[in-house]
Amino acid sequence: MTVQWFPGHMAKARRQIEEKLKLVDIIFELLDARIPYSSSNPMMNEIIKHKPKLVILNKADIADPEATKKWVAYYEAKGQHVIAIDSLHLNSIKQITDKSKGILKEKFEKEKAKGLRPRPVRAMILGIPNVGKSTLINSLAKRKAAMTGNRPGVTKAQQWIKVERELELLDTPGVLWPKFEDQRVGYNLAVTGAIKDTILFLDDIMLYTLDYLSRRYPSHLIARYRLKGEFGDKVALLDEIGLNRGFLATGGVVNYEKVYETVLREIRDVKLGRLTFELPEDMDER
């Protein structure tokens, strides 16, 4: 799904989320483990105010595991609660439930002290498009395919998915917009497939990505495209990839469009291996 964000959309999305905030105890902020910074929403904390939050780094199965460790440490150092998961093959329900209960321990103890009955933790997922919100909800729902509220007389608008005895999830996630002001963010969203009908130029995305990969993952590039390993001149690199793959236009010149499309698709399809496109240390420059 590609969403075109306009100020009106943002205001509406924000209002809808703010209305639902009072229904939940905790927010699950879903980020793409390959681009945690670029897949975050710039106004998240302002929107959710003091609501407790668990940062969930999704798609960890296709991110660089070492980089994911660094990101987890980065969020923890900032005093945030964080876990890394893979929604497609979710086996971390207990991890999500336990973390949530831990974060809300004090609140629930207070409720108990007031004589209130124990109740499940109620959560809502927030994230930008394509970060995996529906996939996570479906995975959680499949385990316990029990939808509450799906009865006559119960409003259909708010449905709760009973994930576990101790966790209920709002069945519709909150969709937030990504950051727009930083061009690198745009490139990262494009290379990971978060924005598809991209308004950015493919050659810009490609050159930015090749520059990044040649610094962080040179061996992945060399192995996939049988390169000599000279990364100084990016246009020469495009030529090398094009020639090695036989992407030639009439007259024997390299068909760059074909190179862009192929390399970007192969990156998204994890053909180069598990990659992460930004690291916590890059944050210092921002």
Positions touching ligand G4P (CB under 6 A) are: 1, 58-59, 61-62, 86-88, 127, 129-135, 193
The answer to whether 227 and 237 have CB atoms below 8 angstroms apart is: yes
**83 or 237: whose CB is closer to ligand G4P?**
83
**120 or 129: whose CB is closer to ligand G4P?**
129
Give the residue among 156, 278, 262, 171 at the shortest CA–CA distance from 216. Answer: 278
Q: How do strand 121-127 and strand 81-84 relate by DSSP bridges? A: unpaired
Cβ of residue 263: shortest distance to ligand G4P, in angstroms?
17
Distance CA 252, CA 249 (A): 6
Give the residue among 9, 17, 76 at the shortest CA–CA distance from 46. Answer: 17
**60 or 206: whose CB is closer to ligand G4P?**
60
CA–CA distance from 74 to each of 30, 55, 237, 240 (Å)?
16, 12, 33, 37
Nearest residue to the partner ligand G4P, using Cβ: 132
**89 or 151: whose CB is closer to ligand G4P?**
89
The answer to whether 237 and 224 have CB atoms below 8 angstroms apart is: no
Cβ of residue 146: shortest distance to ligand G4P, in angstroms?
20
Cβ of residue 23: shortest distance to ligand G4P, in angstroms?
20
Cβ of residue 270: shortest distance to ligand G4P, in angstroms?
8
